[in-house]
Chains A and B, each alone.
Chain A
Amino acid sequence: MAVTLDDVRHIAALARLGLSDDRAHALVGELNGILAHMDVLSKVDTTGVEPLTGIGLSTTPLREDRGPAIPLVHPIETFAPKFEDGFFLVPRLATHEDASDAS
Protein backbone atom coordinates (compact mmCIF):
# COMPACT_ATOMS: atom_id res chain seq x y z
CA MET A 1 0.00 0.00 0.00
CA ALA A 2 1.90 3.06 -1.20
CA VAL A 3 1.19 6.48 0.23
CA THR A 4 0.63 9.23 -2.36
CA LEU A 5 0.97 13.00 -2.10
CA ASP A 6 -2.81 13.20 -1.89
CA ASP A 7 -2.78 10.74 0.97
CA VAL A 8 -0.22 12.86 2.81
CA ARG A 9 -2.29 16.00 2.28
CA HIS A 10 -5.42 14.16 3.41
CA ILE A 11 -3.92 12.80 6.63
CA ALA A 12 -2.22 16.11 7.34
CA ALA A 13 -5.65 17.71 7.10
CA LEU A 14 -7.16 15.10 9.43
CA ALA A 15 -4.37 15.82 11.91
CA ARG A 16 -4.61 19.60 11.47
CA LEU A 17 -0.92 19.79 10.59
CA GLY A 18 -0.19 22.57 8.14
CA LEU A 19 2.41 21.15 5.76
CA SER A 20 4.38 23.15 3.24
CA ASP A 21 4.54 21.67 -0.24
CA ASP A 22 8.21 20.80 0.21
CA ARG A 23 7.53 19.05 3.46
CA ALA A 24 4.55 17.18 2.03
CA HIS A 25 6.61 15.89 -0.88
CA ALA A 26 9.44 14.80 1.38
CA LEU A 27 7.05 13.03 3.69
CA VAL A 28 5.71 10.84 0.89
CA GLY A 29 9.12 9.21 0.67
CA GLU A 30 9.70 9.13 4.41
CA LEU A 31 6.37 7.52 5.21
CA ASN A 32 6.61 4.99 2.40
CA GLY A 33 10.07 4.09 3.62
CA ILE A 34 8.79 3.42 7.10
CA LEU A 35 5.64 1.63 5.98
CA ALA A 36 7.63 -0.65 3.69
CA HIS A 37 9.18 -2.17 6.80
CA MET A 38 5.73 -2.87 8.22
CA ASP A 39 4.68 -5.21 5.44
CA VAL A 40 6.34 -8.09 7.27
CA LEU A 41 3.45 -8.03 9.75
CA SER A 42 0.92 -8.93 7.08
CA LYS A 43 2.66 -12.28 6.71
CA VAL A 44 2.22 -13.26 10.35
CA ASP A 45 -0.58 -15.73 11.08
CA THR A 46 -2.78 -14.11 13.68
CA THR A 47 -5.94 -16.21 13.32
CA GLY A 48 -7.71 -16.36 16.62
CA VAL A 49 -5.32 -13.96 18.32
CA GLU A 50 -6.97 -11.16 20.27
CA PRO A 51 -5.48 -7.68 19.92
CA LEU A 52 -3.72 -6.71 23.14
CA THR A 53 -6.08 -4.21 24.71
CA GLY A 54 -4.33 -3.75 27.99
CA ILE A 55 -1.83 -5.17 30.39
CA GLY A 56 -2.69 -6.24 33.88
CA LEU A 57 -6.12 -4.91 34.67
CA SER A 58 -8.94 -6.98 33.22
CA THR A 59 -11.67 -4.59 34.32
CA THR A 60 -11.80 -0.84 34.68
CA PRO A 61 -11.86 0.53 38.24
CA LEU A 62 -14.89 2.64 39.16
CA ARG A 63 -14.93 5.80 41.27
CA GLU A 64 -17.67 7.07 43.52
CA ASP A 65 -19.97 9.80 42.28
CA ARG A 66 -18.64 12.60 44.46
CA GLY A 67 -16.01 15.32 44.66
CA PRO A 68 -13.82 17.07 45.37
CA ALA A 69 -12.43 17.65 41.89
CA ILE A 70 -8.66 17.74 41.37
CA PRO A 71 -7.77 21.37 42.14
CA LEU A 72 -5.81 23.67 39.83
CA VAL A 73 -2.84 25.09 41.71
CA HIS A 74 -2.59 27.93 39.20
CA PRO A 75 -5.79 29.39 37.73
CA ILE A 76 -6.68 28.98 34.07
CA GLU A 77 -5.54 32.51 33.28
CA THR A 78 -1.95 31.48 33.91
CA PHE A 79 -1.86 29.05 31.00
CA ALA A 80 -4.69 29.95 28.63
CA PRO A 81 -3.55 31.70 25.43
CA LYS A 82 -6.70 33.85 25.28
CA PHE A 83 -9.12 33.93 28.19
CA GLU A 84 -11.78 36.57 28.91
CA ASP A 85 -14.70 36.70 31.34
CA GLY A 86 -14.07 33.07 32.12
CA PHE A 87 -14.21 31.86 28.49
CA PHE A 88 -11.52 30.41 26.26
CA LEU A 89 -11.59 32.52 23.10
CA VAL A 90 -10.89 31.10 19.66
CA PRO A 91 -11.30 32.59 16.20
CA ARG A 92 -15.01 32.69 15.42
CA LEU A 93 -16.20 29.49 13.80
CA ALA A 94 -16.91 30.06 10.12
CA THR A 95 -20.13 28.12 10.02
CA HIS A 96 -21.94 29.06 13.15
CA GLU A 97 -23.14 25.58 13.98
CA ASP A 98 -24.12 24.71 17.49
CA ALA A 99 -24.09 21.17 16.26
CA SER A 100 -20.41 20.33 16.27
CA ASP A 101 -18.71 17.86 13.98
CA ALA A 102 -20.26 14.91 15.77
CA SER A 103 -23.08 14.34 18.25
Chain B
Amino acid sequence: MSAPASPADRWREKYEMVVGLEVHVHLKTKTKIFCACSTDFGAPPNANTCPVCLGLPGALPVLNAHAVELAARAAAAIGCTIQPRSVFARKNYFYPDLPKGYQISQFDKPLALDGCIRVGTRDDGTPIEIGVHRVHMEEDAGKSVHDRFAGYSAVDLNRTGVPLVEIVSEPEMRSARQAEAYLVALKQILEYADVSDVNMEEGSLRVDANVSARKHGDGKLGTKTEIKNLNSFSAVVRALDVEFARQCAVLDSGGVIEQQTMLWDDRNGEVRPARSKEGSHDYRYFPEPDLPPLVLDADWIARIARDLPELPEARRERYRASHVGLSAYDIDVLTSSVALGDYFEQVARRSGDPKAAANWVLGEVLATLKNTGQSIDRFSVRPADLGDLLVLVRDGTISNSAAKQIFATMVATGDPPGRIVDREGLRKVTDDAALIAWIDEVVAEHPDEAARLFGGEKRLQGVLVGHVMKKSKGSADPKRVNQLLAERSGT
Protein backbone atom coordinates (compact mmCIF):
# COMPACT_ATOMS: atom_id res chain seq x y z
CA MET B 1 0.00 0.00 0.00
CA SER B 2 1.57 3.31 -1.00
CA ALA B 3 1.72 6.30 1.34
CA PRO B 4 -0.74 9.12 0.72
CA ALA B 5 0.52 11.87 -1.59
CA SER B 6 2.45 14.58 0.18
CA PRO B 7 2.79 18.18 -0.97
CA ALA B 8 6.49 17.53 -1.54
CA ASP B 9 5.97 14.86 -4.14
CA ARG B 10 5.55 17.10 -7.17
CA TRP B 11 8.84 18.83 -6.47
CA ARG B 12 11.04 15.85 -5.77
CA GLU B 13 12.16 15.29 -9.29
CA LYS B 14 13.56 18.77 -9.65
CA TYR B 15 14.56 19.68 -6.10
CA GLU B 16 16.33 18.01 -3.23
CA MET B 17 15.27 18.44 0.41
CA VAL B 18 18.08 19.10 2.87
CA VAL B 19 17.22 18.62 6.53
CA GLY B 20 19.07 19.16 9.78
CA LEU B 21 17.52 18.48 13.17
CA GLU B 22 18.13 20.02 16.59
CA VAL B 23 16.86 17.80 19.35
CA HIS B 24 16.61 18.87 22.98
CA VAL B 25 16.49 16.12 25.57
CA HIS B 26 15.78 16.34 29.32
CA LEU B 27 18.39 14.48 31.34
CA LYS B 28 16.83 12.41 34.11
CA THR B 29 18.64 13.86 37.09
CA LYS B 30 16.96 14.26 40.47
CA THR B 31 17.91 17.92 40.78
CA LYS B 32 18.38 20.79 38.37
CA ILE B 33 21.55 21.49 36.45
CA PHE B 34 22.75 24.50 38.46
CA CYS B 35 20.85 24.22 41.74
CA ALA B 36 19.49 21.59 44.09
CA CYS B 37 15.80 22.08 43.28
CA SER B 38 13.86 18.95 42.43
CA THR B 39 13.13 18.16 38.78
CA ASP B 40 9.98 16.23 39.72
CA PHE B 41 7.11 16.63 37.33
CA GLY B 42 3.70 17.80 38.52
CA ALA B 43 4.62 20.04 41.44
CA PRO B 44 2.46 23.13 42.07
CA PRO B 45 3.64 26.12 40.03
CA ASN B 46 6.87 27.66 41.26
CA ALA B 47 7.15 25.17 44.11
CA ASN B 48 10.44 23.77 42.81
CA THR B 49 12.35 27.02 42.84
CA CYS B 50 15.17 28.66 44.77
CA PRO B 51 17.21 31.86 44.49
CA VAL B 52 19.37 30.33 41.75
CA CYS B 53 16.71 29.21 39.30
CA LEU B 54 14.52 32.21 40.11
CA GLY B 55 17.40 34.40 39.01
CA LEU B 56 17.34 36.40 42.22
CA PRO B 57 19.98 39.10 42.58
CA GLY B 58 23.24 37.64 43.85
CA ALA B 59 22.50 33.97 43.10
CA LEU B 60 25.10 31.80 41.36
CA PRO B 61 25.09 28.50 39.40
CA VAL B 62 26.95 25.32 40.44
CA LEU B 63 27.08 22.38 38.01
CA ASN B 64 25.37 19.04 38.76
CA ALA B 65 27.84 16.13 38.46
CA HIS B 66 25.17 13.65 37.40
CA ALA B 67 24.00 15.93 34.61
CA VAL B 68 27.54 15.85 33.25
CA GLU B 69 27.62 12.08 33.51
CA LEU B 70 24.33 11.65 31.66
CA ALA B 71 25.21 14.22 29.03
CA ALA B 72 28.51 12.49 28.37
CA ARG B 73 26.77 9.13 28.21
CA ALA B 74 24.30 10.48 25.66
CA ALA B 75 27.13 11.85 23.56
CA ALA B 76 29.09 8.59 23.75
CA ALA B 77 26.02 6.56 22.84
CA ILE B 78 25.74 8.40 19.54
CA GLY B 79 29.42 8.01 18.85
CA CYS B 80 30.57 11.53 19.64
CA THR B 81 34.03 12.46 20.89
CA ILE B 82 33.76 13.94 24.37
CA GLN B 83 35.92 17.06 24.63
CA PRO B 84 38.33 17.16 27.58
CA ARG B 85 37.60 20.86 28.00
CA SER B 86 34.27 22.51 27.28
CA VAL B 87 33.04 25.96 28.24
CA PHE B 88 29.67 27.28 29.33
CA ALA B 89 28.41 30.45 27.68
CA ARG B 90 25.59 32.91 28.18
CA LYS B 91 22.93 33.18 25.48
CA ASN B 92 21.32 36.55 26.13
CA TYR B 93 17.69 37.32 25.32
CA PHE B 94 14.56 38.57 27.09
CA TYR B 95 11.59 36.31 27.77
CA PRO B 96 9.42 35.93 30.89
CA ASP B 97 10.29 32.26 31.35
CA LEU B 98 14.02 33.05 31.28
CA PRO B 99 14.65 34.54 34.74
CA LYS B 100 18.22 35.69 34.36
CA GLY B 101 17.65 37.25 30.94
CA TYR B 102 20.18 34.74 29.65
CA GLN B 103 20.35 30.99 29.29
CA ILE B 104 23.50 29.20 30.40
CA SER B 105 24.40 27.02 27.45
CA GLN B 106 27.54 26.12 25.52
CA PHE B 107 28.69 27.91 22.39
CA ASP B 108 31.97 27.42 20.60
CA LYS B 109 33.39 24.80 22.99
CA PRO B 110 30.63 22.19 23.41
CA LEU B 111 30.78 18.97 25.40
CA ALA B 112 31.09 16.65 22.40
CA LEU B 113 31.55 16.59 18.62
CA ASP B 114 31.29 14.37 15.57
CA GLY B 115 28.99 11.43 16.13
CA CYS B 116 26.61 9.59 13.85
CA ILE B 117 23.28 7.81 13.89
CA ARG B 118 22.41 4.85 11.71
CA VAL B 119 19.05 5.27 10.04
CA GLY B 120 18.95 2.33 7.67
CA THR B 121 20.82 -0.08 5.43
CA ARG B 122 21.56 0.20 1.74
CA ASP B 123 20.87 -2.59 -0.68
CA ASP B 124 24.50 -3.58 -0.57
CA GLY B 125 24.31 -3.97 3.19
CA THR B 126 26.26 -0.86 4.14
CA PRO B 127 24.67 1.30 6.83
CA ILE B 128 23.07 4.67 6.05
CA GLU B 129 24.34 7.12 8.65
CA ILE B 130 23.49 10.69 9.49
CA GLY B 131 26.26 12.74 11.08
CA VAL B 132 25.83 14.43 14.44
CA HIS B 133 27.71 17.71 14.55
CA ARG B 134 27.70 18.39 18.27
CA VAL B 135 26.18 17.70 21.66
CA HIS B 136 26.12 20.40 24.30
CA MET B 137 24.67 20.98 27.75
CA GLU B 138 22.29 23.76 28.71
CA GLU B 139 19.51 24.68 31.12
CA ASP B 140 15.84 24.59 30.24
CA ALA B 141 13.57 27.62 30.57
CA GLY B 142 10.24 27.79 32.38
CA LYS B 143 6.73 27.49 31.01
CA SER B 144 4.05 30.04 30.27
CA VAL B 145 0.30 29.54 30.21
CA HIS B 146 -1.65 32.07 28.23
CA ASP B 147 -5.31 31.31 28.81
CA ARG B 148 -5.64 31.08 32.53
CA PHE B 149 -5.75 34.76 33.49
CA ALA B 150 -7.47 37.21 31.18
CA GLY B 151 -4.99 39.62 29.69
CA TYR B 152 -2.00 37.93 31.28
CA SER B 153 0.45 35.16 30.64
CA ALA B 154 1.23 33.07 33.70
CA VAL B 155 4.82 31.98 34.25
CA ASP B 156 5.85 28.81 36.06
CA LEU B 157 9.58 28.43 36.68
CA ASN B 158 9.59 24.83 37.90
CA ARG B 159 11.13 23.71 34.64
CA THR B 160 13.77 26.46 34.65
CA GLY B 161 17.14 24.89 35.18
CA VAL B 162 16.22 21.32 34.28
CA PRO B 163 19.31 19.91 32.52
CA LEU B 164 19.15 19.52 28.74
CA VAL B 165 21.43 18.23 26.08
CA GLU B 166 21.04 19.69 22.63
CA ILE B 167 21.94 17.29 19.84
CA VAL B 168 22.58 18.96 16.49
CA SER B 169 22.73 16.86 13.36
CA GLU B 170 24.62 17.59 10.20
CA PRO B 171 22.31 18.72 7.38
CA GLU B 172 22.53 15.27 5.86
CA MET B 173 18.92 14.12 5.77
CA ARG B 174 17.31 14.16 2.37
CA SER B 175 13.66 13.42 3.06
CA ALA B 176 11.05 13.73 5.75
CA ARG B 177 11.02 9.97 6.17
CA GLN B 178 14.72 9.94 6.70
CA ALA B 179 14.33 12.64 9.32
CA GLU B 180 11.76 10.47 11.03
CA ALA B 181 14.08 7.49 10.92
CA TYR B 182 16.80 9.62 12.52
CA LEU B 183 14.47 10.65 15.31
CA VAL B 184 13.26 7.10 15.93
CA ALA B 185 16.83 5.83 16.07
CA LEU B 186 18.03 8.67 18.27
CA LYS B 187 15.16 8.29 20.71
CA GLN B 188 15.82 4.59 20.94
CA ILE B 189 19.55 5.03 21.55
CA LEU B 190 18.97 7.58 24.28
CA GLU B 191 16.39 5.38 25.93
CA TYR B 192 18.77 2.43 25.92
CA ALA B 193 21.53 4.66 27.30
CA ASP B 194 19.17 5.44 30.20
CA VAL B 195 19.76 9.17 30.16
CA SER B 196 16.24 10.48 29.55
CA ASP B 197 12.60 9.50 29.34
CA VAL B 198 12.68 10.84 25.76
CA ASN B 199 8.94 11.32 25.76
CA MET B 200 7.71 13.94 23.33
CA GLU B 201 4.23 14.17 24.86
CA GLU B 202 5.70 14.87 28.28
CA GLY B 203 8.18 17.33 26.86
CA SER B 204 11.37 15.44 27.65
CA LEU B 205 12.21 15.41 23.95
CA ARG B 206 11.75 18.41 21.67
CA VAL B 207 12.57 18.81 18.01
CA ASP B 208 13.31 21.83 15.84
CA ALA B 209 13.82 21.21 12.15
CA ASN B 210 15.93 23.12 9.65
CA VAL B 211 15.04 22.63 6.00
CA SER B 212 16.18 24.01 2.68
CA ALA B 213 15.72 23.11 -0.96
CA ARG B 214 18.12 23.00 -3.89
CA LYS B 215 18.14 21.70 -7.42
CA HIS B 216 19.49 18.19 -7.74
CA GLY B 217 23.21 18.28 -8.33
CA ASP B 218 23.59 21.77 -6.92
CA GLY B 219 26.52 21.66 -4.48
CA LYS B 220 25.57 24.73 -2.49
CA LEU B 221 23.06 24.64 0.33
CA GLY B 222 19.95 26.72 -0.08
CA THR B 223 18.74 29.19 2.52
CA LYS B 224 17.14 27.29 5.34
CA THR B 225 14.19 28.03 7.56
CA GLU B 226 13.70 26.71 11.05
CA ILE B 227 10.44 25.05 12.05
CA LYS B 228 9.37 25.03 15.69
CA ASN B 229 6.32 23.84 17.63
CA LEU B 230 6.61 20.26 16.41
CA ASN B 231 4.80 18.01 18.85
CA SER B 232 5.27 14.56 17.37
CA PHE B 233 7.41 12.68 14.88
CA SER B 234 4.55 12.65 12.42
CA ALA B 235 4.25 16.42 12.77
CA VAL B 236 7.94 16.62 11.84
CA VAL B 237 7.30 14.58 8.71
CA ARG B 238 4.28 16.60 7.63
CA ALA B 239 5.86 19.94 8.44
CA LEU B 240 9.00 19.16 6.48
CA ASP B 241 7.04 18.22 3.40
CA VAL B 242 4.82 21.27 3.64
CA GLU B 243 7.70 23.68 4.12
CA PHE B 244 9.81 22.01 1.43
CA ALA B 245 6.91 22.35 -0.98
CA ARG B 246 6.51 25.99 -0.07
CA GLN B 247 10.20 26.67 -0.62
CA CYS B 248 10.24 24.85 -3.95
CA ALA B 249 7.27 26.85 -5.16
CA VAL B 250 9.04 30.08 -4.23
CA LEU B 251 12.32 29.06 -5.85
CA ASP B 252 10.63 27.72 -8.93
CA SER B 253 8.92 31.01 -9.57
CA GLY B 254 12.23 32.84 -9.30
CA GLY B 255 11.79 33.97 -5.73
CA VAL B 256 14.22 33.96 -2.81
CA ILE B 257 13.88 32.12 0.49
CA GLU B 258 13.93 34.38 3.52
CA GLN B 259 15.80 32.94 6.48
CA GLN B 260 13.23 32.91 9.26
CA THR B 261 11.65 30.89 12.01
CA MET B 262 8.40 29.15 11.16
CA LEU B 263 5.80 27.66 13.44
CA TRP B 264 3.97 24.43 12.64
CA ASP B 265 0.25 24.67 12.99
CA ASP B 266 -0.77 21.07 13.56
CA ARG B 267 -4.50 21.63 13.34
CA ASN B 268 -4.40 23.25 9.93
CA GLY B 269 -1.33 21.47 8.62
CA GLU B 270 0.43 24.74 7.80
CA VAL B 271 3.67 26.53 8.51
CA ARG B 272 3.57 30.21 9.20
CA PRO B 273 6.31 32.66 10.03
CA ALA B 274 6.87 33.33 13.72
CA ARG B 275 6.35 37.01 14.30
CA SER B 276 9.82 37.92 15.44
CA LYS B 277 10.12 41.35 16.97
CA GLU B 278 13.67 42.19 15.99
CA GLY B 279 14.89 40.62 12.80
CA SER B 280 17.36 37.86 13.48
CA HIS B 281 18.47 37.27 17.03
CA ASP B 282 21.76 38.58 18.41
CA TYR B 283 22.42 36.44 21.45
CA ARG B 284 25.71 38.12 22.31
CA TYR B 285 27.29 34.86 23.44
CA PHE B 286 30.24 35.16 25.82
CA PRO B 287 31.88 32.64 28.17
CA GLU B 288 29.99 32.26 31.45
CA PRO B 289 32.15 34.03 34.07
CA ASP B 290 30.39 32.30 36.97
CA LEU B 291 31.48 28.81 35.83
CA PRO B 292 35.11 27.79 35.21
CA PRO B 293 35.52 25.42 32.22
CA LEU B 294 34.41 21.80 32.49
CA VAL B 295 37.55 19.69 32.41
CA LEU B 296 37.19 15.91 32.05
CA ASP B 297 40.17 13.60 32.29
CA ALA B 298 40.89 10.87 29.78
CA ASP B 299 40.18 8.06 32.23
CA TRP B 300 36.76 9.44 33.07
CA ILE B 301 35.93 9.85 29.40
CA ALA B 302 37.07 6.30 28.65
CA ARG B 303 34.96 4.93 31.48
CA ILE B 304 31.83 6.59 30.10
CA ALA B 305 32.24 4.82 26.78
CA ARG B 306 33.22 1.56 28.41
CA ASP B 307 30.28 1.48 30.81
CA LEU B 308 27.60 2.27 28.24
CA PRO B 309 24.60 -0.02 28.55
CA GLU B 310 23.91 -2.32 25.59
CA LEU B 311 22.75 -0.10 22.74
CA PRO B 312 20.00 -1.00 20.22
CA GLU B 313 22.29 -2.01 17.35
CA ALA B 314 24.32 -4.27 19.61
CA ARG B 315 21.19 -5.88 20.97
CA ARG B 316 19.84 -6.43 17.48
CA GLU B 317 23.12 -8.03 16.48
CA ARG B 318 22.99 -10.28 19.52
CA TYR B 319 19.47 -11.43 18.68
CA ARG B 320 20.47 -12.06 15.06
CA ALA B 321 23.41 -14.12 16.17
CA SER B 322 21.44 -16.17 18.64
CA HIS B 323 19.99 -18.31 15.80
CA VAL B 324 16.52 -18.21 17.12
CA GLY B 325 15.17 -17.86 13.63
CA LEU B 326 13.83 -14.41 14.28
CA SER B 327 13.13 -12.30 11.23
CA ALA B 328 14.64 -8.85 10.88
CA TYR B 329 11.19 -7.40 11.46
CA ASP B 330 10.72 -9.46 14.63
CA ILE B 331 14.07 -8.26 15.92
CA ASP B 332 13.19 -4.66 15.16
CA VAL B 333 9.97 -4.97 17.10
CA LEU B 334 11.57 -6.73 20.05
CA THR B 335 14.27 -4.08 20.28
CA SER B 336 11.93 -1.15 19.76
CA SER B 337 12.20 -0.46 23.46
CA VAL B 338 14.64 -1.63 26.11
CA ALA B 339 11.84 -2.81 28.31
CA LEU B 340 10.29 -5.00 25.60
CA GLY B 341 13.61 -6.65 24.81
CA ASP B 342 14.32 -7.16 28.50
CA TYR B 343 10.89 -8.72 28.91
CA PHE B 344 11.40 -11.02 25.96
CA GLU B 345 14.78 -12.16 27.26
CA GLN B 346 13.42 -12.93 30.70
CA VAL B 347 10.58 -14.97 29.22
CA ALA B 348 13.03 -16.77 26.95
CA ARG B 349 15.37 -17.54 29.80
CA ARG B 350 12.62 -18.80 32.09
CA SER B 351 10.95 -20.94 29.47
CA GLY B 352 14.11 -22.11 27.80
CA ASP B 353 12.34 -21.55 24.49
CA PRO B 354 13.27 -18.26 22.82
CA LYS B 355 11.24 -19.02 19.74
CA ALA B 356 8.04 -19.52 21.66
CA ALA B 357 8.89 -16.54 23.82
CA ALA B 358 9.27 -14.39 20.73
CA ASN B 359 5.97 -15.59 19.29
CA TRP B 360 4.09 -14.88 22.46
CA VAL B 361 5.71 -11.47 23.07
CA LEU B 362 5.22 -10.38 19.47
CA GLY B 363 1.69 -11.78 19.44
CA GLU B 364 -0.37 -11.98 22.61
CA VAL B 365 1.70 -9.60 24.71
CA LEU B 366 1.85 -6.76 22.22
CA ALA B 367 -1.84 -7.14 21.36
CA THR B 368 -2.78 -7.06 25.02
CA LEU B 369 -0.64 -4.00 25.69
CA LYS B 370 -2.35 -2.25 22.84
CA ASN B 371 -5.85 -3.22 23.97
CA THR B 372 -5.41 -2.46 27.64
CA GLY B 373 -3.19 0.59 27.19
CA GLN B 374 -0.60 -0.83 29.59
CA SER B 375 3.09 -0.29 29.11
CA ILE B 376 5.50 -3.20 29.11
CA ASP B 377 7.42 -2.00 32.14
CA ARG B 378 4.27 -2.14 34.27
CA PHE B 379 2.62 -5.10 32.58
CA SER B 380 0.39 -7.16 34.87
CA VAL B 381 1.94 -10.39 33.60
CA ARG B 382 5.38 -10.95 35.08
CA PRO B 383 7.87 -12.33 32.54
CA ALA B 384 8.68 -15.29 34.78
CA ASP B 385 5.02 -16.22 34.86
CA LEU B 386 4.72 -16.06 31.08
CA GLY B 387 7.82 -18.21 30.89
CA ASP B 388 6.19 -20.77 33.17
CA LEU B 389 3.08 -20.73 31.01
CA LEU B 390 5.16 -21.59 27.96
CA VAL B 391 6.73 -24.49 29.87
CA LEU B 392 3.26 -25.84 30.67
CA VAL B 393 2.41 -25.79 27.00
CA ARG B 394 5.66 -27.33 25.92
CA ASP B 395 5.43 -30.24 28.32
CA GLY B 396 1.83 -30.90 27.37
CA THR B 397 0.18 -29.97 30.63
CA ILE B 398 -2.14 -27.59 28.86
CA SER B 399 -3.23 -27.06 25.34
CA ASN B 400 -2.37 -24.02 23.27
CA SER B 401 -5.91 -22.69 23.39
CA ALA B 402 -6.02 -23.21 27.13
CA ALA B 403 -2.81 -21.26 27.30
CA LYS B 404 -4.45 -18.30 25.58
CA GLN B 405 -7.29 -18.46 28.02
CA ILE B 406 -4.97 -18.71 30.98
CA PHE B 407 -2.96 -15.79 29.65
CA ALA B 408 -6.11 -13.66 29.55
CA THR B 409 -6.73 -14.51 33.19
CA MET B 410 -3.13 -13.71 34.05
CA VAL B 411 -3.54 -10.32 32.45
CA ALA B 412 -6.64 -9.62 34.47
CA THR B 413 -5.50 -10.99 37.81
CA GLY B 414 -1.70 -11.11 37.76
CA ASP B 415 -1.94 -14.65 39.09
CA PRO B 416 0.72 -17.21 38.18
CA PRO B 417 -0.31 -19.78 35.56
CA GLY B 418 -0.08 -22.87 37.79
CA ARG B 419 -2.60 -21.47 40.20
CA ILE B 420 -5.01 -20.65 37.40
CA VAL B 421 -4.69 -24.10 35.86
CA ASP B 422 -5.57 -25.74 39.15
CA ARG B 423 -8.27 -23.30 40.05
CA GLU B 424 -10.07 -23.61 36.74
CA GLY B 425 -9.28 -27.19 36.03
CA LEU B 426 -7.52 -26.49 32.78
CA ARG B 427 -5.11 -29.37 32.73
CA LYS B 428 -5.23 -30.79 29.27
CA VAL B 429 -7.59 -33.68 29.14
CA THR B 430 -6.39 -36.36 26.80
CA ASP B 431 -8.38 -39.21 28.22
CA ASP B 432 -10.56 -40.51 25.38
CA ALA B 433 -13.38 -41.48 27.67
CA ALA B 434 -13.76 -37.95 28.97
CA LEU B 435 -13.40 -36.49 25.51
CA ILE B 436 -15.98 -38.84 24.02
CA ALA B 437 -18.38 -37.98 26.83
CA TRP B 438 -18.06 -34.27 25.96
CA ILE B 439 -18.41 -34.99 22.25
CA ASP B 440 -21.57 -36.94 22.93
CA GLU B 441 -23.01 -34.07 24.92
CA VAL B 442 -22.17 -31.59 22.18
CA VAL B 443 -23.69 -33.76 19.47
CA ALA B 444 -26.83 -34.01 21.53
CA GLU B 445 -26.98 -30.28 22.11
CA HIS B 446 -26.25 -29.32 18.52
CA PRO B 447 -28.07 -31.97 16.45
CA ASP B 448 -28.33 -29.96 13.24
CA GLU B 449 -24.67 -29.11 13.04
CA ALA B 450 -23.71 -32.64 13.99
CA ALA B 451 -25.93 -34.06 11.36
CA ARG B 452 -24.46 -31.82 8.69
CA LEU B 453 -20.93 -32.77 9.74
CA PHE B 454 -21.67 -36.43 9.64
CA GLY B 455 -23.41 -35.82 6.37
CA GLY B 456 -20.12 -34.66 4.88
CA GLU B 457 -19.81 -30.91 5.59
CA LYS B 458 -16.29 -31.10 6.91
CA ARG B 459 -16.01 -27.42 7.66
CA LEU B 460 -18.39 -27.78 10.54
CA GLN B 461 -15.82 -29.87 12.39
CA GLY B 462 -14.14 -26.74 13.71
CA VAL B 463 -17.41 -25.42 15.06
CA LEU B 464 -18.09 -28.60 16.93
CA VAL B 465 -14.56 -28.72 18.24
CA GLY B 466 -15.20 -25.21 19.49
CA HIS B 467 -18.29 -26.34 21.34
CA VAL B 468 -16.30 -29.14 22.97
CA MET B 469 -13.58 -26.71 24.02
CA LYS B 470 -16.16 -24.44 25.54
CA LYS B 471 -17.87 -27.28 27.36
CA SER B 472 -14.53 -28.47 28.71
CA LYS B 473 -13.66 -24.95 29.69
CA GLY B 474 -10.65 -25.23 27.41
CA SER B 475 -9.14 -28.29 28.97
CA ALA B 476 -9.92 -30.68 26.18
CA ASP B 477 -7.01 -31.54 23.94
CA PRO B 478 -8.21 -30.02 20.70
CA LYS B 479 -5.99 -32.24 18.58
CA ARG B 480 -7.48 -35.40 20.00
CA VAL B 481 -11.00 -33.99 19.82
CA ASN B 482 -10.45 -33.29 16.14
CA GLN B 483 -9.27 -36.84 15.58
CA LEU B 484 -12.21 -38.38 17.43
CA LEU B 485 -14.74 -36.24 15.59
CA ALA B 486 -13.09 -37.06 12.31
CA GLU B 487 -13.32 -40.75 13.09
CA ARG B 488 -16.96 -40.46 14.04
CA SER B 489 -17.81 -38.57 10.91
CA GLY B 490 -15.97 -41.13 8.92
CA THR B 491 -13.32 -38.93 7.39
Contact = CB atoms under 8 A, between A and B. Distances in A.
B259 interface: no
B146 A63 contact: no
B36 A66 contact: yes
Contacts of B263: 97, 99
B87 interface: yes
Contacts of A90: 96, 152-153, 155
Nearest to A60: B292
B155 A65 contact: no
Interface residues of A, number: 44
A65 to B, nearest CB: 4
Interface string B7-51: 000000000000000101000011100011110000011111111
Interface in B66-104: 66-68, 87-88, 91, 93-98, 103
A85 B238 CA distance: 38
Interface stretch (A27-35, A40-48, A70-78): A70-78
Contact of A100 (B24, B38, B141, B278): B141
Interface in A12-63: 13-14, 16, 51, 53-54, 57-63
Given A86-B44, A93-B153, A101-B95, A59 B294 contact: yes
Contacts of B282: 14
A100 B24 CA distance: 14
A103 B47 contact: no
Contact of B208 (A51, A53, A87, A103): A103
Given A69-B36, A84-B149, A100 B295 contact: no
Contacts of A64: 64-66
A92 B152 contact: yes
A68 B65 CA distance: 16
A5 interface: no
Contact of A62 (B51, B63, B93): B63
Contact of A102 (B68, B155, B281): B281
Nearest to A14: B282
B294 A60 contact: yes
Contacts of A65: 29-31, 64-67
A93 B146 contact: yes
Given A62-B68, A65-B30, A67-B36, A16 B94 contact: yes
B52 interface: yes
B272 to A, nearest CB: 10
Interface in B158-209: 164, 166, 206, 208
A1 B149 CA distance: 47
B31 A58 contact: no
A100 B222 CA distance: 25
Given A96-B146, A100-B141, A70 B45 contact: no
Given A86-B45, A95-B275, A97-B274, A59 B31 contact: no
14 contacts: A60-B295, A61-B63, A61-B292, A62-B68, A65-B64, A65-B66, A67-B31, A69-B38, A86-B46, A87-B46, A87-B155, A88-B46, A96-B146, A100-B97
Interface of A: 13-14, 16, 51, 53-54, 57-72, 76, 82, 84-103
- A-B complex: 9 closest residue pairs judged by Cβ atoms: A65-B66, A87-B154, A62-B65, A59-B295, A99-B228, A86-B45, A88-B155, A69-B50, A57-B292
